[in-house]
Amino acid sequence: MNSVLIVDPDPVSRLRLESGLSESNQFSGVFSCGSLSEVDRFVPVYKVSVIVLVQQLASDQAALDCITQAYLGVGLVLLTDEKQHIDEALLSALGIHAQTSTTASPLELMVTVAKAMVCRLKPPKRMRKTLFGRFMKD
């Protein structure tokens, strides 16, 4: 089973997301923290497979780059505003594997986390070129 880390500065929405994923019984652990600086305390200790981020934290590009570089095998889910949808190409460029809205149902959030778990197994395009070099065709 896999663990999920929710990173959200709002304690009310963080608790709602955490309880929704915990009640699904699909993950070995669901943890939460309030900032990106706390991620390092959770990922190695609890073997986190997916990190769920709110959009306002994902706008800190330097911190997001540090997380994607430090934890290559961890999937990232972006929680956006209800009316906002970000292009898949931009998400991929940012290193984010899936997105859903902050008002998503627990089932929808669980499916999005599962999508990120699957997508994290496929290395990013820039890494595939490094790994496979001349054997790959674009």
In the chain, where the domains are located: 3-135
Distances 108 to 20, 26, 77, 129 between C-alpha atoms, Å? 10, 13, 12, 33
Instruction: Give the pLDDT band (50/70/90) at residue 123.
Output: low
pLDDT 10s digits, 61-114? 888 888 888 888 888 888 888 777 776 777 776 778 888 888 888 888 888 888
- Nearest to 98, CA basis, from 72, 118, 128, 82: 118
pLDDT at 126: 55
The single residue listed with the structure tokens 């706008």 is: 59
pLDDT at 73: 83
SS3 state at 23: helix
**At how many degrees (to 10) do helices 11-23 and 106-119 cross?**
80
Whether residue 43 is predicted with pLDDT greater than 60 in this model: the reply is yes
Cβ contacts of 82-88, under 8 Å, gap ≥ 24: 84/55
Q: What are the φ and ψ backbone dihedral angles of 3, each rounded to 5 degrees?
A: -105, 150
Residue burial 94-103, b: 16+ Cβ < 10 Å; e: rest: bbbbbbbbbe
pTM for the full predicted model:
0.80
More confident residue, 125 or 100: 100
For 3-135, the fitting CATH number among 3.40.50.2300, 1.25.60.10, 3.90.226.10, 3.30.70.260 is: 3.40.50.2300
